[in-house]
Amino acid sequence: MGHLSRSSSSPPSKPVRPRRVVSGRDRVPLTLPPDLLATKLHIPQPRPNLVRRDRLLAALDAGLDRPLILVAAPAGFGKTTLVSRWMQLRAASAEPPLGMCWLSLDEGDNDPGRFLRHLAAALHHITPRASEMVLALSQASSSPPFPAMLGVLINDLVPLPRASVLVLDDYHVIRERSIHEAIAFLLDHIPPRFHLLIATREEPPLPLARLRGRNAVAELGQADLRFRTDEVTTFLQGWLGLTVSPADVGALEARTEGWITGLQLAALSMQKHADVAGFLAAFGGSDRHVLDYLVEEVLDRQARPVQDFLLRTSILDRFCSPLCNALV
């Protein structure tokens, strides 16, 4: 294939301008480097007609007396929705106001430099001077080491006049060891009014045993995030307008084990069936909507060797290590 080239008569391309974003309640402008995405710093807007989950909102409020709040559960248990709703309510009612920062992580943030720049940009709302310094230093030809620049941010967080929370959403995508070590360093030297909230699909490789021993972590897990009977009823009747008997609600709760996305997918299919009880009796992992979700959100996100293993062993009802080895 030949190369496409710009003719000498065409005008020169315009330089890429850094994006300016406005973050937080104080509306502090920030000039972002071209490789950073402003949308990763925005608190997601909760969907309308959510089931209000006061017990979980109260648990997050109580977590503000610990340095770390850990929300860990598999895909589809409403972690991002819960945390963003909590921050929305805190912004409207907290007095004095709570400092809030958000960073949605993705695979590209496994690069330590990119992670640090996104972290500094997220913290800009509460530490503008240090954040701008770190962003400038990280783009220099001979930038200081990662721990030194993290120390700049930590030192600037010490005199915070109000409680503040940084949310790291989708932390499970981070595999880079140096980033885990940096977060552990932050937790070991966390300032008194600063809190870190990690939302993740799996327990992160952080010194959680030590933090638990210090009573320094508040945790919400899969068992906490499951929809309970009253929440299932509210979801079906309030959000979808479905009239469902208590027996059917109990059956759906049992079939999905309170898995929020499973409930939503079941409800979408349920609307097409006149025999609700019969549908619920047959509903399971083979439902088309459930299969599509699990493939897109779980299977496709696994490493290729894991995908190969899962596909090859999926024909088994029961398995052991020698049998799996024979198949793969």
DSSP 197: E
Contacts of 46 (CB under 8 A, 6+ apart): 81, 84, 85, 88
Q: Do both 61 and 209 map to the same domain? A: yes
- 326 within a domain of the structure (yes/no): no
300: number of CA atoms within 13 Å, CB side? 7
Number of domains in the chain: 2
Amino acid at 110: N
- 282 within a domain of the structure (yes/no): yes
Q: Do both 156 and 242 map to the same domain? A: no
Q: Do both 281 and 158 map to the same domain? A: no
Q: Which domain holds residue 90?
A: 19-225
Whole-number pLDDT of residue 27: 44
The model's pLDDT over 138-194, given as tens digits with 9 standing for 90+, comes to: 877 777 888 899 999 999 999 998 899 999 999 999 999 999 999 999 999 999 999
The model's pLDDT over 92-131, given as tens digits with 9 standing for 90+, comes to: 876 777 899 999 999 999 999 999 999 999 999 899 999 9
CA triplet 204, 50, 89: central angle to 5 degrees? 70
- 320 within a domain of the structure (yes/no): no
CA dihedral 133, 139, 140, 142 (to 10 degrees): 110
Q: Which of these ranges, 51-65, 171-185, 280-294, has the smallest mean pLDDT?
A: 280-294
- 47 within a domain of the structure (yes/no): yes
β-bridge partners, 198: 70, 168
Longest dimension (CA), the chain: 75
For residue 165, the domain's CATH number is 3.40.50.300
Q: Do both 79 and 108 map to the same domain? A: yes
Euclidean distance between CA atoms 21 and 36, whole angstroms: 11
Q: Do both 44 and 172 map to the same domain? A: yes
- 311 within a domain of the structure (yes/no): no
Q: Do both 67 and 186 map to the same domain? A: yes
